[in-house]
Chains A and B, each alone.
Chain A
Amino acid sequence: MLRYVGTRLWQSVLTLVLASLVVFIGVRQLPGDPALAMAGEEATPEQLAAVRSSLGLDKSLPEQYLAFLGRMFRGDFGNSTRTGTPVTDLIATTLPVTLWLAAYAIVVAIIVGIAFGVIAERFRGRWPEWLTNAFALIGLSVPNFWLGILAILYLAVTLGLFPASGYVDVSREPVRGLYYLTLPAIILGTSLAAVIMRQTRASMIETMSTDYVRTANAKGLGAGRVLFRYGLRNSLIVVVTIVGLQLGGLISGAVVTERIFALPGFGKLTLDAVFTRDYPVIQAVVLIITLSYIVINLAVDVLYSVINPRIRVGGNN
């Protein structure tokens, strides 16, 4: 167990270093000269050289990479070229919005996904299964940003059930904050719910036909108990994996969901940075998302091995 965690930890560190190298090289490919942008078009060559050396751009590439790593470790991402505010401040104000949204969406997706998956398995070949299957197909085929637009149009504007846009800080006003986030979270969670539903159904079908479930049924355990103790427990492994695997999609989905519902989150920060060529912000955003993604994947793998002792690193598949 410890050895497994150690191996995964080492792999993650390696991945982090490689990923940071990719970002470092990527940032150097960006068009435009940061020194020139900072010093202004009318700068004399001397001024330009001074700015260049103050930014450390006159050093060798490996030196610059190490300096870059050092700054990242200290959490120093520089200042936004657009507003002049420290990038860290921008992240501190926008990241919580996205985290609340993502967490809410994951909760919605897990509840709906597992419930529908169980329904589909319990009612195989009857109308509840077709209904949940239709839901899964729609969830996978319909882009969530379109669902979001439709939801604003019909649920928010026509029926007035939810606010069409806007954000209330959840940590200050939890009830109103979550109410404002409900529609975005449902929209963001739909495709995840569809994937979880399909996997839950498949894993339930497999588990419920195993010998130990037959034994449990034969010795007279109640249907509910068999379902929860055997069927759902195995499905949990699947759900953990799926949520882990789908996190990348969730991050992308959050960006677009924020755009549709005008939420002041990380996604909005990212898009604004791209369109205004705010490179310090882009660099920070890419690094932070990459880092959290690697860490979460590591956590998922460790959790996975805790839930299911059959899985260990270096397995053949």
Chain B
Amino acid sequence: MAITEIRPAGLGSARGRIWKSLHGSPLGLAGGAMLVVVVLVAVLAPLIAPYSPSEVHFATPFQKPGTVGFLLGTDDLGRDIFSRMVYGVRASLEVGALCVLLSVVIGTPLGLLAGYWRWLDAAVSRLTDVTLAFPFLIIAVGLAAISGPSLANAAIALGIAHIPTMIRVVRGETLRIKESDFVLGAQTMDASGLRIIFTHVLPNAASAIIVQATVIMPVAVIGEALLSFLGLGIQPPTPSLGIMLSDAQQYIFRSPTAAIFPGIGIALICLAFNLFGDALRDAFDPTSSSRK
């Protein structure tokens, strides 16, 4: 019985159930819809933004939102805030995606190996301990000190910081799946460890990896904004929501709205991922606690 239920194809056969579950969750659907909009904005940035993000209009600084030609107003250099935000969303997603990619590509194999072979577990555990000993900001500080602050360094720092959690999630899943009947069956049929890992364990761990990716993404987006805000991430004149906030804090009393819109942007991106991620987790795992 159990074998037919949790076959490697479990993800595929569960697709209908997941769709159904997502349909039943209005918040999840809203998150999904927001996600689509955010991704479209990032991809179509050059088409959506009316100006180049670094185009200055010295004659019209500190325009209020709703001014003709400048939907969300302008900043201290007269740059169009809406255009800068559109490109800022793009930068946020770029860093977020790079960070998730890094943690998945490095964390998944290590988690699988550590979970499957006990003798590797200790070595991988030390590796995660050492990585966890460095808060991401400290990794970012180190990378910025060594090779200067940049988008790539921000993404690498965030990625490294998230590898340990990915390893732990995948390792936990591997330990669980390793005990299932179909893996024991494969072992008695003399399948090699690597073969079992890739044909049995990985497909069954996929849902946990995807959910973890949706957890990492918003954290990475906030992390990028934070690093750029501190001057450790993306460098001007490249627009980033974090840089916009840090600029806006300097003239906050003259033009408070310049500090409000980029924050709303970051919050909406994160909200989209959090809502969608929660719904996805509920869909994958019917016993999940956030389900009513």
Residues of chain A touching chain B, judged by Cβ–Cβ distance below 8 Å, are 11, 14-16, 18-19, 22, 26, 29-31, 124-125, 137-138, 140-143, 145-146, 149-150, 152-153, 157, 198, 202, 205-206, 247-249, 251-252, 255-256, 259-260, 270-271, 274-275, 277, 279, 282, 285-286, 289-290, 293-294, 297, 316-317
Which chain B residue shows the least CB distance to A26? B142
Contact among B138, B145, B267 with A143 in the assembled complex (CB-CB below 8 Å): B267
Chain A residues with Cβ under 8 A from B141's Cβ?
270, 274, 282, 285-286
Which chain B residue shows the least CB distance to A275? B231
Q: Can you list 20 contacts pairing A with B, beta carbon distance less than 8 Å?
A: A15-B130, A19-B130, A19-B134, A26-B142, A26-B146, A137-B274, A137-B275, A140-B218, A140-B270, A141-B267, A145-B245, A146-B263, A150-B263, A202-B290, A248-B136, A251-B135, A251-B138, A274-B232, A286-B141, A289-B138
**A143 x B256 contact (CB < 8 A):** no
B260: Cβ under 8 A from any A Cβ: yes
**B146 x A256 contact (CB < 8 A):** no
Q: Which of B243-276 contact A (CB under 8 A)?
A: 245, 248-249, 252-253, 256, 259-260, 262-263, 266-267, 270-271, 274-275
Chain B residues with Cβ under 8 A from A247's Cβ?
135
Contact among B147, B172, B270 with A317 in the assembled complex (CB-CB below 8 Å): B172
Chain A residues with Cβ under 8 A from B175's Cβ?
316-317
Task: Pick the interface stretch among B8-16, B62-70, B102-110, B222-230.
Answer: B222-230
**A202 x B289 contact (CB < 8 A):** yes
Q: Which of B89-139 contact A (CB under 8 A)?
A: 126, 129-130, 132-138
Chain B residues with Cβ under 8 A from A277's Cβ?
145
**B267 x A293 contact (CB < 8 A):** no
SS of A interface (majority):
helix
Q: How far is the CB of B228 from chain A (nearest CB, A)?
A: 11
Chain A residues with Cβ under 8 A from B271's Cβ?
137, 141
Contact among B129, B137, B260, B275 with A11 in the assembled complex (CB-CB below 8 Å): B129
Chain A residues with Cβ under 8 A from B126's Cβ?
11, 14-15, 18
Q: How far is the CB of B76 from chain A (nearest CB, A)?
A: 16
Chain A residues with Cβ under 8 A from B172's Cβ?
317
**A252 x B292 contact (CB < 8 A):** no
**B270 x A141 contact (CB < 8 A):** yes
Given contacts A252-B135, A282-B145, A290-B133, contact A145 B252 (CB under 8 A): no
Q: Which of A247, A256, A297 has the most CB of B within 10 A?
A: A256
Chain A residues with Cβ under 8 A from B133's Cβ?
15-16, 19, 290, 293-294, 297
Chain B residues with Cβ under 8 A from A143's Cβ?
222, 225-226, 263, 266-267, 270
Chain B residues with Cβ under 8 A from A290's Cβ?
133-134, 138
Chain B residues with Cβ under 8 A from A282's Cβ?
141-142, 145
Q: Which of B133, B137, B245, B260 has the most CB of A within 10 A?
A: B133
Which chain B residue shows the least CB distance to A279? B145
Contact among B132, B176, B249, B259 with A248 in the assembled complex (CB-CB below 8 Å): B132
B6: Cβ under 8 A from any A Cβ: no
Chain B residues with Cβ under 8 A from A252's Cβ?
135-137, 226
Measured in the bound complex, the distance between the Cα atoms of B274 and A239 in whole Å is 21
Measured in the bound complex, the distance between the Cα atoms of B245 and A207 in whole Å is 43
Chain B residues with Cβ under 8 A from A149's Cβ?
245, 248-249, 252, 259, 263
Chain B residues with Cβ under 8 A from A275's Cβ?
231
Given contacts A248-B136, A297-B132, contact A255 B259 (CB under 8 A): no
Measured in the bound complex, the distance between the Cα atoms of B252 and A145 in whole Å is 14
Q: Which of A247, A274, A289, A293 has the most CB of B within 10 A?
A: A274
**B137 x A255 contact (CB < 8 A):** yes
Q: How far is the CB of B31 from chain A (nearest CB, A)?
A: 10
Given contacts A19-B130, A317-B172, contact A256 B230 (CB under 8 A): yes
Q: Which of B124-167 contact A (CB under 8 A)?
A: 126, 129-130, 132-138, 141-142, 144-147, 161
Measured in the bound complex, the distance between the Cα atoms of B215 and A140 in whole Å is 11
Chain B residues with Cβ under 8 A from A205's Cβ?
289
Which chain A residue shows the least CB distance to B125? A11
Q: How far is the CB of A37 from chain B (nearest CB, A)?
A: 14
**B230 x A30 contact (CB < 8 A):** no
Which chain A residue shows the least CB distance to B269? A141
Measured in the bound complex, the distance between the Cα atoms of B285 and A202 in whole Å is 15
Measured in the bound complex, the distance between the Cα atoms of B289 and A146 in whole Å is 30
Which chain A residue shows the least CB distance to B275? A137
Chain B residues with Cβ under 8 A from A153's Cβ?
252, 256, 259
Measured in the bound complex, the distance between the Cα atoms of B131 and A22 in whole Å is 10
Measured in the bound complex, the distance between the Cα atoms of B161 and A270 in whole Å is 19
